[in-house]
Amino acid sequence: MSRIATWTAALALATSLTGCTGAANSNHSLESIHQPVVRNSIHQFDVAVDSGDLVPSEQGRLQGWLDAMGVRYGDRVSIEDPSVYGAGEAQATIRAMVERRGLLLSSDVPVTTGAVPPGYVRVIVTRASAHVPGCPDWSSRSSINPTNATSSNYGCATNSNLAAMVADPNDLIKGNRATVNDPNAATRAIKTYREKPQTGAGQLKETATSNSGGGQ
């Protein structure tokens, strides 16, 4: 009877350990299950076009909106122009205002809310944010890991820091589509490392010393 009770207790202990470690220690690869999630928020602002361009008052309104939005590197600014022939001068004015902030207009125009009123153009700012949900994750606190799986918190620190530091979180999805590839710029650091003389390459300088002790 005592032997049966002992085996029953051992079985219950094994079952409880399986429940604690089975779900948490289920990742047997080196790819973290905690990956950044990117969300895009779209902000729009309509400005009136007069004689094909923006009057100073409309430029002031747009400038104030861009300041209030805190438009910065990583934001994507685009223009939605529903006019038949396109307000080229107005788009050039908006482009100059955006370029003064160190940004370039994006050709990708997202879907916005409502139609653009006649005689207006719409300036759109798309801002992305990234975070890693479920981190930190210390659900697998037990040191028992019979399946040799990674920790439940594996990858949280690296991916959370990456999501916080990347300038444009959309680059985490599809990378940066560079329009200009300069091989000289890509190899400049390696060229400098190879061609720059080492600091200890020159001979030691001889300096005269004087005996201030007065001895022979």
- Residue-wise pLDDT for 12-46, tens only, equals 333 334 444 444 467 888 899 999 999 999 999 99
Amino acid at 50: D
Which residues neighbour 16 within 8 Å (Cβ) at sequence distance 6 or greater? none
How far apart are alpha carbons 108 and 120 in whole angstroms?
A: 19
More confident residue, 143 or 8: 143
pLDDT surpassing 60 at residue 122 = yes
Torsion sign (Cα): 163, 185, 178, 70: positive
Q: Is 2 helix (H, G, I), strand (E, B) or coil?
A: helix
Q: Are 100 and 129 in contact (CB under 8 A)?
A: no
Q: Any bridge partners for residue 54, and if so which? A: none
Provide the residue type at 95 as one letter.
Answer: R
Distance between CA atoms of residues 93 and 101, nearest Å: 13
Per-residue model confidence as pLDDT tens digits over 157-203:
999 999 999 888 988 888 776 555 667 767 877 888 888 887 777 66
Domains along the chain? 31-138+148-176 (3.30.1330)
Asked if the bond preceding 136 is cis, omega within 30° of 0, the reply is yes
What's residue 5's pLDDT? Answer: 38
pTM: 0.62
